[in-house]
Amino acid sequence: MLLNTPIENIPLTSSATKRRLKSIGINNFWELLNYFPFRYENYSLISPIDRLQVGEIATIKGKILKVSNAFTKKGFNLQKISISDSSGKIDVNWFNQSYLLRILREGMSLSVAGEVKFFGNTKSFEPREYEILSDENLNQQFIHTARIIPVYSEKNGLSSRLLREKIFRLIMHLNVSRTQDSIPEILPPEIISFNNLPKEIDAYKQIHFPTNLENARKSRERLAFDELFTIQLSAQIVRKEWENEHVGNAFVVDKEKYDLFQRFISNLPFKLTSAQKRVVNEILLDLKQSKPMNRFLEGDVGSGKTVVAAIACYLTYLNGYQSLFMAPTEILANQHFQTLSSLFPTSGVGNTVLKPIETLPSVGLQTGSKKIGTSMQRPLQKRTSDDFDIIVGTHALITKKLKFDRVGLVIVDEQHRFGVVQRAQLKEKGINPHLLTMTATPIPRTVALTIFGELDLSVIDEMPKGRLQVKTFLVPKEKRKSGYEWIKKKIKEEKIQVFIICPLIEESEVETMKTIKAVTKEFERLKKDIFSEFKLGLLHGKVKTKEKEKIMQDFKDKKLDILVATSVVEVGIDIANATIIMIEGAERFGLAQLHQLRGRVGRGDKQSYCLLYTENANEKITERLQLFTRTQNGMQVAEHDLKLRGPGEIFGARQHGYLDLKVASLSDFELIDKSKKAVNYFFSKYSVSNFPEINNRLEEYKTKQISRD
């Protein structure tokens, strides 16, 4: 099929561009077609030059009368191009784009989209996009002007303009090829008509080059429907497969074990909250089944998920099995190792939060930099993984060539959706354990149940008593300075530490060079002008892993007072001494994401603070942020978020590995519900094996999940 054509074969494209396309995961025509724009610019108003109104955004078409290069008083380099059509003429002013002098020449026909502005006293045109028209024919196909144009997220040196051009040519090519199935339909016709969806082929064309914005919306809805349909269908299939799985041996919880288990719980240094108790019970019931547990545990940062997981590990231990405890980073693995070591101290050694009762499981750490059990925490004669009852590590634990013989439980903390593939990897190692996946991302129950349909859901919706709430303030613009002074005083007097979070600059969800430049500049400014007496660290997505871990470690070791970071950086580490988080450009974050960030502080027993800064005093924004300052519960925050932000907006949790939806939005309950019904209908009436296109999508979805791991 045409769409399987490798990207190497794309015509009129340099090898550098091909390489760049591949570097962002575009390996064939299909993947190029699936690179969707994140917004549009409307340049469809085509205006005669003499009708242009100041403030208007329009496209003009005309002949270049004159090309000149000038310098403004302020030293800007100006490319002034005078254009005329049959109605009149106007100057188009580009700034600092001297390469245009080599491209644009007198006599050429040009189409320019931009804004009409005053330049000094003269009406002139501020260009945004242009394209040269082939000779006299002003009616050719327009790509960058004279229509609604797509704007693509710019990655690895690929400009939106270049992507637009390549995708446009591809769609032209598909049109010419004219085969009915150049973009095949995947759904049965009755599902399409029942849900009032456009055809697949039209959706793909119109999401890139819509004839109007309503069509763009409908196309996006169609492709979002496809996405939700695929995810849910995949979940249903996994759930069905899961029903037929068997663990080696179901756990036994007889009187003796139950007593030990209860004693362990009552020996904890605190009383479990009723939410924790409920979840422990749900897990207990699962573990007694011969079908492996596949449970998803949601709970706010600090709600006490780790203890619940530890209790499950203990029960596993009582049954003679090992537990694997996986964290997303080495630092977090270390942290879990320490927590678990203090919950399960070996007799005489280690922390004595708990008096040793009977025997307790031994805890080992296995990360890239630390071999099993070489931690300083305990004198270890033990060397191999098999000698430990609980093995803590990163997700590499299951991919590494480690052999585990008696694993009964796998715990996955954050960022990892444990799928069919991971399960297969475990099976290759000869195990089919119970599975507990945990997240602090507040995902509303309805959403979680649909999107993670293969999992059973538990929620810890209650915080331990006596926890100090993080005091949250929206800091007015005029108080910025006194805010800095207050932070300085806090650091000096209380020796606390501070996070400063800078937002992503552009609307795309990746960290662009622009963002990195901005955060670096802000870091320099803070270091030089504001916090010169303190030690500052900088973290963003382009910092190498090793360096990143060192900076985090320095922060943990109090070698740094302030950590400046972008939101994409994993700062999930427990730093009890960090009690202030300052968030710049707070309006750019979803509430759920703000809540995640706020969870970085408030981990110790000192009062913590979250300061929100925004340059945008828009009433709606202020209201939304004020609401956040008053809401502490993550689930409530997430629900507000869903209500307040329309579909299509970035959902705070999206950056988490769990939910990287391409087009669909989790706040679009209606579409989620429709697609869920469609999946149920499809399941009752058809078999996936008769739908090769759906099968392809399922495979594609699975591969995407693997490649993310």
Return residues touching ligand ADP (CB under 6 A). 270-273, 276, 299, 301-307, 440, 464
Q: Measure the CA angle with vertex 41, ends 40 and 43; round to 5°.
A: 140
Least distance between ligand ADP and beta carbon 440 (Å): 6
Question: Both tokens of residue 563?
Answer: 């950590």
Backbone angles phi, psi at 706, to 5 degrees: -65, -45
Q: In the complex, what is the shortest distance from the CB of residue 559 to ligand ADP, in angstroms, rounded to a whole number?
A: 23
Beta-ladder partners of 463: none
Structure tokens at 491: 């650091």
Residue 187 or 301 having the CB closest to ligand ADP: 301
The answer to whether 323 touches 317, Cβ cutoff 8 Å, is yes
Q: Minimal distance in Å, beta carbon 351 to ligand ADP?
A: 12
- Complex with ligand ADP: residue 235 or 280, whichever CB lies closer: 280
Work out how close the CB of 296 gets to ligand ADP at its nearest, in angstroms, rounded to a whole number: 14
DSSP string, 316-331: HHHTT-EEEEEESSHH
Which CB atom, from 353 or from 621, has the smaller least distance to ligand ADP? 353
Which DSSP string do the residues of 143-168 spell out, in sequence order?
SSSSSEEEE---BTTB-HHHHHHHHH
The dihedral through the CA atoms of 220, 224, 227, 233 has a sign that is negative
Nearer to ligand ADP, 336 or 434 (CB): 336
* DSSP output for 420-442: HHHHHHHHHTT---EEEEEE-S-
* DSSP codes of every residue in 244-284: T---SS-----HHHHHHHHHHHHTSSSPPPHHHHHHHHHHH
* CA atoms of 152 and 391, how far apart (whole Å): 44
Report yes or no: 418 and 202 within 8 Å, Cβ to Cβ.
no
Burial class (CB in 10 A: 0-12, 13-18, 19+), 262: exposed
CB nearer to ligand ADP: give 62 or 299.
299
User: Residue 129 or residue 413: which is nearer to ligand ADP going by CB?
Assistant: 413
The least CB distance from residue 464 to ligand ADP, in Å, is 3
Smallest distance from ligand ADP to CB 332, Å: 10
C-beta of 356 vs 464, nearer to ligand ADP: 464
Our CB check for ligand ADP shows the closer of 68 and 352 to be 352
Q: Which CB sits closer to ligand ADP, 304 or 419?
A: 304
Distance of CA 273 to the CA centre of its chain: 31
By beta-carbon proximity to ligand ADP, the closer residue of 305 and 540 is: 305
Cα–Cα distance measured from residue 661 to residue 448, given in angstroms and rounded to the nearest whole number? 13
Residue 603 beta carbon to ligand ADP: minimum distance, rounded to whole angstroms: 7
**Closest to ligand ADP by CB, 48 or 464:** 464
Q: What is the number of the residue whose Cβ is closest to ligand ADP?
A: 304
Closer to ligand ADP by Cβ: residue 464 or 648: 464
Contact 171, 155 (CB under 8 A): no
Residue 273: CB minimum distance to ligand ADP, A: 5
Q: Hey, what are 191's tokens? A: 């599902």
How far apart are CB 372 and ligand ADP at their closest, in Å? 23
Cα 351 to its chain centre, rounded Å, is 37
What distance in Å separates the CA atoms of residue 321 and residue 311, rounded to the nearest whole number? 13
Sign of CA dihedral 186, 188, 189, 190: negative
The distance of closest approach from Cβ of residue 336 to ligand ADP in the complex, given in angstroms and rounded to an integer, is 9
Tell me which residue of 421, 427, 451 sits closest to 439, measured CA to CA: 451
Sheet holding 497-502, edge to edge: 471-475, 609-613, 578-583, 497-502, 562-566, 536-539
Nearest CB to ligand ADP, comparing residues 93 and 276: 276
Closest to 268 measured CA to CA, from 339, 355, 391: 355
Q: Which residue's CB is nearer to ligand ADP, number 197 or number 307?
A: 307
Find the shortest distance in angstroms from Cβ 390 to ligand ADP. 15
Whole-number minimum distance, CB 573 to ligand ADP, in Å? 11
Taking phi first (over 0 means left), then psi (-120 to 50 degrees means alpha), and beta for anything else, what does residue 518 get? alpha
Please tell me the distance from the alpha carbon of residue 527 to that of residue 541, in angstroms, as a whole number: 20
Sign of the alpha-carbon dihedral angle for 666, 669, 671, 675: positive
State in angstroms the smallest separation of the CB of 341 from ligand ADP. Answer: 13
Shortest Å, Cβ 417 to ligand ADP: 18
